[in-house]
Amino acid sequence: MLHRLINLYDRVIGVDNAAAHCDIPCKIYDPISAQLATLSVIRFMDLIAELTSKAPLSVDAQAQLNRLIAEKETHAEKAKHEVRVIWGDYFKQPQFDQFPGTHDLVHRIMLAGSACKQNSDRAQGEALLNLINEFAETFWATKATPTYTAKCPYLPEENVVYPTLQ
């Protein structure tokens, strides 16, 4: 009953829906989400290449290919989203003064993420990961947190920048 009243009120008054990462800044930001999404993009690219090397594709294989492509594109967009949130919500003038190339870096990440959505070239995925790793280094440097690079312990076994936590 209450739900119906609220819906009626929304329709009559015309309340707009709002969506945001965080309307009450939690101040919890970590580029690992973007890095993991990009690792997934690369892994999906590998699986797509493996699947398409077998020709002709059965109906089941074609369905699997469609799912892999959809997930690759979803994860590329997620990587872009995670970077946009940190760039838009966390980075302020002091961080931009400290790292004046941040705007350009984020723009290059957006372009690389779009390129990953447009094709399945693994080199594009690797390029996106390199840019997001650079972003992670910048992010952690703004917090005076040292970083290290290590190969992730799962496929696609690419290098990822991690914070050195004490």
**How would you write the pLDDT of the chain (166 residues) with one tens digit per residue?**
766 766 666 777 776 665 554 555 678 899 999 999 999 999 999 999 999 998 899 999 999 999 999 999 999 999 999 999 999 999 999 999 999 999 999 999 999 999 999 999 999 999 999 999 999 999 999 999 999 999 999 999 999 999 999 8
Q: How far apart are CA 84 and CA 78, in angstroms?
A: 10
In a domain, residue 66? The reply is: yes
Q: What's the total number of domains in the chain? A: 1
Backbone angles phi, psi at 161, to 5 degrees: -85, 130
- Assigned token pair, 91: 């980075």
In a domain, residue 20? The reply is: no
Tell me if residue 3 falls in helix, strand or coil: helix
Beta bridge partners of residue 150, listed in sequence order: 160
The pLDDT of residue 12 is 76
Closest CA to 51 of 71, 34, 36: 71
The pLDDT of residue 19 is 52
Q: What is the CATH number of the domain that holds 60?
A: 1.20.120.400
Q: How far apart are CA 86 and CA 89, in angstroms?
A: 5
In a domain, residue 135? The reply is: yes
Prediction pTM value: 0.85
Identify the domain containing residue 81 by its residue range: 30-163
In a domain, residue 57? The reply is: yes
In a domain, residue 77? The reply is: yes
Write the DSSP symbol of residue 42: H
The pLDDT of residue 11 is 73
The pLDDT of residue 53 is 96
Closest CA to 115 of 103, 106, 127, 104: 127
In a domain, residue 117? The reply is: yes
Closest CA to 116 of 33, 37, 41, 35: 41
The pLDDT of residue 144 is 96
**Which residues fall within 8 angstroms of residue 124, CB to CB, at 6 or more apart?**
45, 112, 115, 116
The pLDDT of residue 166 is 80
C-alpha 27: how far from chain center? 18
In a domain, residue 12? The reply is: no
The pLDDT of residue 13 is 74
User: Could you identify the residue written with the tokens 């990822």?
Assistant: 160
In a domain, residue 11? The reply is: no
